[in-house]
Amino acid sequence: MDSLTPREITVMFTALGTLLFSARLLGEIARRCNLPSVLGEIMAGILLGPTVLGTLAPALSQNLFPSRGGGALVLDGLTTLAIVLFLLVAGIEIDLRTVWRQGRAAICVALVGMFLPFSLGFAAAWYAPGLMGYEAGTDHLIFSLFMATALSISALPIIAKILMDLNLYRSDLGVTVVAAAVFNDLIGWLVFAMILGLAGAEHGHSMAIGHTVWLTITFTVAMLTIVPWVIHRILLWIQAYASWPGGVLGFALSMALFAAAFTEWLGIHAIFGSFLAGVALGQSSQLRERTRTTIDQFVSFFFAPLFFASIGLRVNFAANFDLSLTLTVLGLALFGKVTGSALGGRLGGLPWREAWGAGFGMGAQGTMGIILGVLALQFGFIGQEVFVSLVVMALVTSLISGPMLQKILRLKKPRKFTDYLQPQGFIRRLDGADSREVIRELSQVIAPLAGLDAGEVCNAVLAREKIMATGIGHGVAVPHARFRDLAEPLVGIGFSDTGVDFDAPDETAARIICLILTPPHDNGAQLEILADIAATFKNEGLREKAFHLTSYTELLALVKSGKDA
Amino acid sequence: MDSLTPREITVMFTALGTLLFSARLLGEIARRCNLPSVLGEIMAGILLGPTVLGTLAPALSQNLFPSRGGGALVLDGLTTLAIVLFLLVAGIEIDLRTVWRQGRAAICVALVGMFLPFSLGFAAAWYAPGLMGYEAGTDHLIFSLFMATALSISALPIIAKILMDLNLYRSDLGVTVVAAAVFNDLIGWLVFAMILGLAGAEHGHSMAIGHTVWLTITFTVAMLTIVPWVIHRILLWIQAYASWPGGVLGFALSMALFAAAFTEWLGIHAIFGSFLAGVALGQSSQLRERTRTTIDQFVSFFFAPLFFASIGLRVNFAANFDLSLTLTVLGLALFGKVTGSALGGRLGGLPWREAWGAGFGMGAQGTMGIILGVLALQFGFIGQEVFVSLVVMALVTSLISGPMLQKILRLKKPRKFTDYLQPQGFIRRLDGADSREVIRELSQVIAPLAGLDAGEVCNAVLAREKIMATGIGHGVAVPHARFRDLAEPLVGIGFSDTGVDFDAPDETAARIICLILTPPHDNGAQLEILADIAATFKNEGLREKAFHLTSYTELLALVKSGKDA
């Protein structure tokens, strides 16, 4: 059996480590900037690929991410596996009952959202081929059909990631968008399969188009109706008689792999199979929450970053960049897709705001376009410039989609008390023996952080305390006040070894004291912060550990891992 | 960038699905037969590889698991990644403090356990080359050194798996064996690196031997001393400021990949790096239990089966089988390794029983031998027959190791009440209104299962019930009796919608009633079964779900997934 040489193995692990580390790092930075982390992950690939590293240090880049030979194939195989597993997770998260409920809206979004960009793309490529990067010598009809498809196909993986990042994936709108993207991409792949049929070439799959179409439809219908029922029974049996959770995990993952192989063989991409397998598996209550989380976390933080980073390795974005082509493709895609999907959503009965939400949700295009593009490039339907314009279009639409969704839907992140903590506001050991003294201690450390007078802060909090004591039980107290000169909330936290009486309902002395100052006009802030503190310290194990903290960082780390601490 | 064709992708997913599914299936069957599941996983590979499938259906086998070209390389890359991640998990599980405590014994086991088989192997290959499969034309000294190394190197991955399967991995003996295996294999790889140096060939790594040795030692010492300290601080910071658990997961996995690349570059295998990275990561309390479990489960039930199954794909075991060679290799390996390690353990201060336990624990040889063998085969040090004899030796020693360990250490699996349940002993709805009536109902269904008289059973249980009522609270009752004519315990379970008074300390009526019959001479059985029932139904969520069961299989599935149900 052919094996990798030690040198190739060294390179493979260095490459994977570099990809994963940079993707996670830039992903975290993107998240800090309120962007979907997938954008950071794709950027990591562009930095490491031919565009930046390949230009600055071509030898290093070529050694680390070889574009030819065994190393390149292994990386390609691994990232294909990665995207297949990511779609499995996306599938598992889908609740079919919600999809049926949102079905009408989803179908309208998908159909209109597909029709408009497809017509625009085809018209542009057919009547203005030069503008769309058509190269003489290739088949004009096939080129036009391909561009139309590339502009109208959605990006299920990116859409899923953006919706997950925004915590919208299981909302009604999220489900509508995902269901629409599924319809959309199924149709898109069927059209692409037809293009391949038209091209008549031996493009790796030799099945007659009619066959592909009806097998795909049969497979999809089966996976959404009878297969979940069968799987539920199989999982029940496995859960009862095989080792746990190994039996269920092994079955779920091998099923996804087989389904991926099947759809790839059909001529539509492998990710469809694993997505539908995920949907079928996700309906069974025998796939326990814990098992879902295990698959989800490993895939989201190992495989997904690898895939998204690998996109940037495929091509030099600077050298093959054609501004007018890219702007044309981007304009057509954005206008066609967003407007089309929004109109479809309106037709399907969504209110305007949600319809535009669906429009921008569907607006994240390109992963599928990129995958199509890779194939189209191999088969000579398009040139490098068109490929780059498709990838840039994917990036820009993905970049716009998340923030626009946030804006249109007026999404706010729930506020956490740690967002308003600062290292100076943490007191490891409070000296005070009563509530008045500990409030003074905490006031003295947090007042300067907002340029306030410590005495005034202390008095305001004590005045509030007099109206009603703020011990909330479990040894936690939350003295607080609204304070006029404050731009945003401010929290201080201190620990008392002996405990201080805050007149709690359960009569325990408070050992964790959080002082909360909020601006007067912001009604939600105080309540959200109080609720977050109460929820955090409700966990007994976490409270116990909190008493043994030695630094502010440890406090943050403890609160972050929450009940799993 | 080179990509896989659709056909290659189809084959890749089919192959991975088949490997995973068969490995998990045979692994479960092995577990049912009280064998380590790793044996089933290796067998799956032999069935799917050239030995069986390749002989029965050569075309199918060659299509599914191509031995040349891109598909073979991708599979090789993936299984290498798999074994690297498996060793990461094995490393994370290690508690360094225990290793230091067991250090003396471990070093003795490792040194003597290495010295004896090395000397025997070298002597045999040097003085009786024909017997050991020496082929004229190759370098005799190198061949002898290689055989000596192959017979004295341990199989860390298999040893870890067997110990995990037997629940011994974190026991003192388990730690001694693993620590010894680590020493052993480190020395083994250093010796192998020296052989490569002797051979003077450009075998993919061109580092001077002296360099390899001191870099390996420095790296190992650093990973066991200062690196865990640094990692703990980094993880704390990540936990505090990055997303959770994505930050920690991404860091841990990329660190393992970099460490793997580093040791592969050193000329010792990649798995050393990830193992040591795992050890360093595992010492930090910031790697939460939940994160450990996520990595552990995904790796153990996805990556590990893929790797172990892939071993069997590499060679035809039947065609290259040479009985006398295999018996010689096996005899030398078993005798040398087991006796040597046991003597070492005795020298290191272990009692004889544990010393033999360590001997048979270390006796599982070969994964490393196989990896060495693959390289040796590529470089022409050995022939196919020797390679097969090494793999068969690995299989047989692994097959012997688990059961011998169980026998020598007199391990017993803790008994679970579900081991003694049968479908007929499950009553969905008990009709009885008092304890006497439900005991009679349950007696009537379980007595026939052991050929007993229902009336007698009922009377014995009622007599016991009179001495002290068996309601244990939380709505659970455990009426029981010892019964002379019984060969092994017998349990019946019934659910009562109304509840039946069993005089429980918390005064709740019993809605879950388990009738337990045990043989008179087996003192432990009754206690263990009672404790298991109490522990199982202590969980409120599980009790709630238990009332809505409709079948015996659902009961087993529910109990199996325990508190995660």
In whole angstroms, what is the distance from residue B325 CA to residue B309 CA?
24
Q: Among partner residues A17, A23, A253, which is closest to B257 by beta-carbon distance?
A: A17
Cβ pair A243:B31 closer than 8 A: yes
Residue ranges of chain A whose pLDDT lies below 70: 1, 197-207, 366-367, 411-414, 562-565
Q: What is the pLDDT of residue B206?
A: 57
DSSP annotation of B111: H
CA of B563, closest CA in chain A: separation in Å? 10
A548 and chain B in contact, CB less than 8 A? no
Among candidates A92, A294, A291, which has minimal Cα distance to B557? A291
* Minimal CA separation from A450 to chain B, in Å: 22
What is the sign of the dihedral through the CA atoms of B294, B300, B304 and B309? negative
Q: Where are the alpha helices (DSSP H) in A267-339?
A: 270-282, 289-298, 304-311, 323-334
* pLDDT grade for B564, boundaries at 50, 70 and 90: low
In angstroms, what separates the C-alpha of B473 from chain A's closest C-alpha?
Answer: 24
Please tell me the distance from the alpha carbon of residue A201 to that of residue A16, in angstroms, as a whole number. 35
**Spatial separation of the C-alpha atoms in residues A55 and A57, rounded to whole Å:** 6
Amino acid, single-letter form, for residue A37: S
Label residue A497 exposed, middle or buried (CB < 10 Å: 0-12, 13-18, 19+). Answer: exposed
Which of B73, B284, B384 to probe by mutation at the A interface, max A CB count within 10 Å? B73
Burial of B5 (0-12, 13-18, 19+ CB in 10 A): middle
**Paired residues of A427 in beta bridges:** A494
Average pLDDT over residues B314-338: 88
Neighbours of B375 (CB within 10 A): 20
Distance from C-alpha of A559 to C-alpha of A556, rounded to nearest angstrom: 5
Q: How far is CA A530 from CA A129, A318, B520, in A?
A: 61, 50, 60
Alpha-carbon distance B117 to B336, whole Å?
4
Chain B residues inside the 8 Å CB shell of A292: none
Please report which confidence band the pLDDT of residue B519 belongs to, taking 50, 70 and 90 as the band edges. Answer: confident
Looking at the DSSP assignment, which residues form a beta bridge with residue B473?
Answer: B476
Minimal Cβ distance to A28: which of B242, B253, B270: B242
Calculate ∠ Cα A252-A255-A261, nearest 5°. 145
Asked whether the beta carbons of residue B77 and residue A260 sit closer than 8 angstroms, the reply is: no
Could you tell me if A384 lies within 8 Å of chain B, comparing CB atoms?
no
CA distances from B174 to B83, B160, B347, B405 (A): 20, 9, 18, 11
Nearest C-alpha in B relative to A545? B285
Cα–Cα distance, A90 to A452 (Å, whole number): 48
Q: Is A258 in contact with B14 (Cβ distance < 8 A)?
A: yes
Residue B412 pLDDT > 90: no
Query: Burial level of B434, CB count in 10 A (0-12/13-18/19+)?
Result: exposed
pLDDT at position A197 is: 67
Nearest to A298 among B12, B31, B298 (CB): B298
Whether residue B286 and residue A73 make contact (CB cut-off 8 A), yes or no, is no
What's the angle, vertex CA B548, arms to CA B543 and CA B554, rounded to 5?
A: 90
Query: B287 pLDDT exceeds 70?
Result: yes
CA-nearest residue of chain B to A72? B2
Q: Tokens 């580093």 — which residue? A: B262
Does pTM top 0.90 for this prediction? no
- For an interface test with A, the pick among B4, B5, B7, B10 (most A C-beta atoms closer than 10 Å) comes out as B10
Q: Report the distance separating Cα B459 and Cα B293, nearest Å.
A: 47
The predicted pLDDT at position B150 comes to 87
CB within 8 Å: B313 and A3: no
Window A:8-67, CB contacts with B under 8 Å: 9-14, 16-18, 20-21, 23-24, 27-28, 31, 37, 67
On average, the pLDDT of chain B sits at: 84
Q: Among all residues of chain A, which has the CA nearest to that of B75?
A: A74
Residue B285 contacts A where some CB pair is shorter than 8 Å: no
Upper half-sphere CA count for residue B40 (Cβ side, 13 Å): 20
CB-CB contact of A499 with A522 (8 Å): no
| Closest-approach residue (CA) in chain B for A6 | B204
Q: What is the pLDDT of residue B267?
A: 78
Q: Does B549 touch chain A (CB under 8 A)?
A: no
Q: Whose CA is closest to B106, among B159, B183, B169, B168?
A: B183
Query: What pLDDT is attached to residue B504?
Result: 84
Q: Do B24 and A294 touch (CB under 8 A)?
A: no
Backbone region of residue A451 per phi and psi (left: phi > 0; alpha: psi in -120 to 50; beta: other values): left
SS3 call for A482? strand
**How many other CB atoms are found less than 10 A from the CB of residue A463?**
10
Q: A269: distance to nearest CA of chain B, Å?
A: 8
Residue range B39-58: mean pLDDT, rounded: 88
Shortest Cα–Cα distance, A350 to chain B (Å)? 34
Per-residue pLDDT reduced to its tens digit, B224-265: 899 999 999 998 888 888 777 888 889 999 999 999 999 888
Burial class (CB in 10 A: 0-12, 13-18, 19+), A216: buried
Provide DSSP, B251-276.
Answer: HHHHHHHHHHHHHHHHTS-HHHHHHH
Buried b (16+ CB within 10 A) or exposed e, B274-296: bbbbbbbbbbbebbbebbbbbbb
Query: Which of chain A's residues have a Cβ under 8 Å away from the Cβ of B72?
Result: 1-3
* Residues within 8 A of A (CB atoms), B 72-91 only: 72-74, 76-78, 80-81, 84
Query: What value does the mean pLDDT take over residues B31-45?
Result: 82
Q: Considering only the beta carbons, identify the residue of A5, A21, A246 that sits closest to B254.
A: A21
Mutate to test the interface with A, among B19, B51, B74, B315 (most CBs of A within 10 A): B74
A306-325 confidence digits (pLDDT tens)? 988 888 887 788 888 889 99
Q: Which of residues 132-171 of B touch A (CB under 8 A)?
A: none
